[in-house]
């Protein structure tokens, strides 16, 4: 039983370490010709959003909502691609969960 607890603690520690590493990675995406931009970290936390003042009108609400969806999707895709590349290079390793069974 104590062995299982140690394994869970080790897994939690590895996960925290991975989160720390991923928080240092960022991606920048933009849409609408640069009028909307976002920065997201490797944990998929949004760090900043920039929307051009010209879009901040009631008439542009649907356009802004669509742009936000595009930004989030593009940022997530870019983060996933970056993580895959780092795993292929051996720069990033996921916690080993095989010992928990």
So what's the pLDDT on residue 71? Answer: 97
Give the residue, 88 or 27, on which the prediction is more confident: 27
**Res. 28 pLDDT band, cuts 50 70 90:** very high
Give the residue, 69 or 1, on which the prediction is more confident: 69
pTM comes to 0.78
Annotated domain spans of the chain: 22-92
Write the pLDDT tens digit of every residue in 29-68. 999 999 999 999 999 999 999 999 999 999 999 999 999 9
pLDDT at 101 over 80: no
Write the pLDDT tens digit of every residue in 70-95. 999 999 999 999 988 888 888 877 76
**Res. 99 pLDDT band, cuts 50 70 90:** low
The fold of the 22-92 domain, in CATH, is Ybab; Chain: A; (3.30.1310)
DSSP symbols for the chain: -HHHHHHHHHHHHHHHHHHHHHHT-EEEEEEGGGTEEEEEETT--EEEEEE-GGG-SGGGHHHHHHHHHHHHHHHHHHHHHHHHHHHHHTS------GGG-
């Amino acid at each position: 039983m104590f062995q299982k607890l140690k394994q869970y603690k080790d897994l939690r520690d590895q996960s925290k370490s991975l989160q720390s590493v991923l928080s240092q990675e960022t991606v920048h995406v933009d849409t609408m010709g640069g009028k909307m931009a976002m920065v997201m970290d490797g944990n998929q936390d949004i760090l900043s959003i920039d929307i051009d003042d010209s879009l901040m009108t009631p008439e542009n609400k649907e356009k802004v909502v669509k742009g936000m969806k595009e930004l989030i999707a593009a940022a997530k895709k870019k983060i996933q691609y970056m993580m895959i590349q780092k795993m292929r290079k051996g720069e990033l390793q996921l916690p080993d969960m095989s010992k928990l069974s």
